[in-house]
Amino acid sequence: MPQLVEPKLMSGNANLPLARSIARRMSMHRGINVDLVNARVERFNDQEVYVEVYENVRGEDMFIIQPTSNPANDNLMELLIMADALKRSSAARITAVIPYFGYARQDRRSKARTPISAKLVANMIVEAGIERVLTMDLHAAQIQGFFDIPVDNLYASPVFALDIKNQFKGKLNDIMVVSPDVGGVARARELAKRINAPLSIVDKRREKAGEVAEMTVIGDVKGKKCIIVDDICDTAGTLCKAAEVLIEAGATEVHSYISHGVLSGPAVERISKSVMKSLVITDSIEATEAVKKTKNIRIVPTAPVFAQAILNIWNGTSVSSLFDHETLEPIYEGIL
């Protein structure tokens, strides 16, 4: 098989700004112009997805950039149909770059007669002809095992560690990393180790889904600048309540670092009125105008890490090297 000249990028409508940013970063790394493949991804009047690729992709190494965020079903169908279009156009390999993997919260049967939707979505992705998946901070690590193809799961924590060291320079001894629930302890511990900070937990009891009845802080947060770490912020109810509980327990400041800012329903209003000094999210999901205008929400870019990961996959080199914040430091120099 002839050596492929360059990786080729294609994007759906889920997060075009991120796709363009990844293309720009790859152009900087390669020293030549890398652009998105010329294609149209549109809707018929009845909202059926239609895809047409205007460039020759025969024998090419294709990367489809498409988070399956809100509207999850539309964006998922775009991904599957783009993959089918590329497969039928004789692309050599198709990699799905899914910065936010929708349906990840349905990763097990929590009750009788419920689906495991994450597994169903994994099956659909494989059947569409996708041969590799690149994603970030899966809600549950075991979702990688739902796929019968390679899955590279990047982590936001190295990027967050760089940002914290920059934002809290000279104050790192005052920081306490906090997990908002027992299930997120491993994620919070990972970040705490990276910045050499202690760990605390907020134990929450739910009466029913979406409502938190009681919260208790496990650990001494008095006089500390608390950093809550989680992978998803949806309606922000738990997050804002946890911030209040931490302030009541003696924390001087509360900040949050969340990988995926779903931020649906009343989330933005809650955050703007919250005692949280800042909420830091990535751009894995395209931010709405309301999110961009909220003063205590800040967005850190993922394009540098995704661009490097795509190049590593294309070159056949290590993706796990990007798990180390020291590897990412030169990539993010001057950005954070």
Residue 324 marked ligand-binding? no
Residue 238 marked ligand-binding? yes
Provide the 10 A C-beta neighbour count for residue 91: 23
**How far apart are alpha carbons 141 and 137 in whole angstroms?**
8
For residue 75, what are its two tokens?
């964006």
Residue 234 marked ligand-binding? yes
**How far apart are alpha carbons 37 and 292 in whole angstroms?**
28
Phi-psi region of 157 (alpha: psi -120 to 50; beta: other; left: phi over 0): alpha
Helix (H, G, I), strand (E, B) or coil at 241: helix
| Cβ pair 103, 118 in contact under 8 A | yes
| Cβ pair 321, 327 in contact under 8 A | yes
Q: Is 119 a catalytic residue?
A: no
Nearest to 102 by CA among 52, 60, 59, 136: 136
Helix (H, G, I), strand (E, B) or coil at 94: strand
Residue 230 marked ligand-binding? yes
Residue 250 marked ligand-binding? no
Provide the 10 A C-beta neighbour count for residue 270: 18
Residue 139 marked ligand-binding? yes
Q: Return the C-alpha torsion angle 174, 237, 77, 26, nearest 10.
A: -20
Amino acid at 116: I
From the list 8, 171, 193, 204, the catalytic residue is 204
Residue 214 marked ligand-binding? no
Amino acid at 155: Y
In our burial notation (b when 16+ CB lie closer than 10 A, e otherwise), range 181-214 reads beebeebbbbbbebbebebbbbebeeeeeeebee
Residue 135 marked ligand-binding? no
Q: What residues does 212 pair with on adjacent strands?
A: 206
For residue 5, what are its two tokens?
């000249």
Residue 3 marked ligand-binding? no
Burial of 23 (0-12, 13-18, 19+ CB in 10 A): buried
State the binding site for Mg(2+): 139, 181
Active site residues: 204
State the binding site for D-ribose 5-phosphate: 206, 230, 234-238
State the binding site for ATP: 46-48, 105-106
State the binding site: 46-48, 105-106, 139, 181, 206, 230, 234-238
